[in-house]
Amino acid sequence: AQKITQTQPGMFVQEKEAVTLDCTYDTSDPSYGLFWYKQPSSGEMIFLIYQGSYDQQNATEGRYSLNFQKARKSANLVISASQLGDSAMYFCAMREGIYNFNKFYFGSGTKLNVKP
Amino acid sequence: DADVTQTPRNRITKTGKRIMLECSQTKGHDRMYWYRQDPGLGLRLIYYSFDVKDINKGEISDGYSVSRQAQAKFSLSLESAIPNQTALYFCATSDLRGRDEQFFGPGTRLTVL
């Protein structure tokens, strides 16, 4: 089974509108972390936002927020007021466990295009 | 200056050649990783290292080897490159004392002809 599933290969959004990128995850470990990364066309991976499995509130970082629904095992990224510079690939990732790295998984990504 | 650097940034090589990709970091992190990225597949872990004496295979280690020369340096080698190793390769670091998030280098685009 896929550990991280991103079901939207590509999305379009109008500039200044909000957009939600979907991410579901699969783990039986009670301790995990969820991450979103942005990859512009230049190729670098840029960390956007983090949500810990024990965090009570949804994470927010500027225009980015994470809609964390633990029971549904979903961690959707919400980008408010989209900008042209938001056009990029977006990857959801999960780290399972706390002390033993051995499980860090990435989804296949969603390509977001922001239209002027 | 970048915290995680990779050399070379681009490389074209021929089948059967040995090639080394190098990664250096100034973040002081103990953990270092090598990933490859293929279109539609996201990132897949090749090798990771928790410290200089600790090397571990990841999801797709066949055909690759690594060397952790120092805390700050982690090299990936392709002993005999083949065309299906054409990909974008990323080095990353993380710090368990924090969230263990991955900090990525700029990537190396490798083409094997």
Mean pLDDT confidence for B36-53:
88
State the residue for tokens 């083949």: B82
Q: What pLDDT is recorded for position A98?
A: 64
Residue B25 reports pLDDT greater than 60: yes
What distance in Å separates the CA atoms of residue A35 and residue A13, rounded to the nearest whole number? 22
The encoded tokens of residue B25 equal 């970091």
E strands present in A15-115: 19-21, 24-25, 32-39, 46-52, 60-61, 64-69, 74-79, 88-96, 104-106, 110-115
pLDDT tens per residue, range A54-102: 999 999 999 999 999 999 999 999 999 999 999 999 999 998 876 555 5
Alpha-carbon dihedral A104, B48, B62, B110, rounded to 10 degrees = 90
Residue A34 sits at the chain B interface (C-beta within 8 Å): no
Q: What pLDDT is recorded for position B1?
A: 59
Residue A104 sits at the chain B interface (C-beta within 8 Å): yes
Nearest by CB to B104, from A45, A50, A99: name it. Answer: A45
Instruction: Choose between B46 and B41: higher pLDDT.
Output: B46
pLDDT tens per residue, range B78-113: 999 999 999 999 999 988 777 778 899 999 999 999
Yes or no: say if B104 and B4 are a contact pair by the CB < 8 Å rule.
Answer: yes
